[in-house]
Amino acid sequence: MLINKNDFTSDLVEFSIHTPDEKLNPAIAKTIRFDLPDALPDELYKDLLKLDGLTGNGQLTYSEWNKDNSYAEDAYVLLEGNIYKALSDNTNSEPGLTENGQSEEESTNWQYEDLATFFHGYVKPYLVMAAYVRLLGVTNAQYTGSGLRQFHENDSQPASPAAYADYISTHKKDATRLLKEMSSELNKRSYIISGKEYTKNTQELKKSTSSGYSAKIKAIR
């Protein structure tokens, strides 16, 4: 899958790593299968799915570049919001810099990956939030194993229905915001990623509006 449980332990959502996989994974799968195709051009969606196979473990994996780490050929790293692929084994070779330290989008050891960068900056945050909304509203699961809870010092209690509804509403708005940011970035790029031009489809036009996203989430609850 394009995302997994580890991607939810971020600043985007309040989430417990102890949330059962049998509750989370269906929400992720449905988001990738039903929500994402409506948000993107058909060919872009297909190309993003291919990212899963790049690192041979079922998901595109990458870590923050570190000058002290050794990287094998075909490793993927993140540096200043950009994703790079190692073209050869290397150590202390900063992506985006030539061997003499000059700034350059591509260097001898690294290749800038435009599609993966778009995925990291825009698609992944949207997928995490949209899947989280499904987790909250469809499975009635929350970010702790025992459900949504309100914490006070060292004690906690189940959230009230009003707090539960407000929590879901807030994250629906967050998903809509992230969807708009993804659509805006595509427009800025003139729908060109990695030199390939994509064609906007009808479903995407519908999904790019806040009312369209909210209505869809409400309908599947």
pLDDT score for 26: 92
DSSP the chain: ----GGGGSSSSS---TTS-HHHHHHHHHHIIIIIHHHHS-HHHHHHHHGGGGTTSSSS---EE--TTSEE-TT-EEEETTEEEEESS-EES--TTB-TTS-B-SS-SSEEE-HHHHHIIIIIHHHHHHHHHHHHHHTS---SSTT--EEEETTEEEEPPHHHHHHHHHHHHHHHHHHHHHHHHHHHHTTTEETTEE----HHHHHHTSHHHHHHHHHHH-
> Which region among 31-35, 38-42, 86-90, 102-106 has the lowest average model confidence (pLDDT)?
102-106
pLDDT value at 92 more than 60: yes
> Which region among 31-45, 49-63, 74-88, 93-107 has the lowest average model confidence (pLDDT)?
93-107
- Over residues 24-47, the pLDDT tens digits come to 999 999 999 999 999 999 999 999
Q: Summarize the confidence of residues 99-103 as an average pLDDT.
A: 55
Residue ranges of domains in the chain: 5-53+114-220, 63-112
pLDDT score for 131: 94
Q: Summarize the confidence of residues 88-113 as an average pLDDT.
A: 77
pLDDT value at 11 more than 80: no
Task: Kindly indicate the confidence band of residue 101, based on its pLDDT and cuts at 50, 70 and 90.
Answer: low
What CATH architecture applies to the domain 63-112? Ribbon (2.10)
- Over residues 112-138, the pLDDT tens digits come to 999 999 999 999 999 999 999 998 875
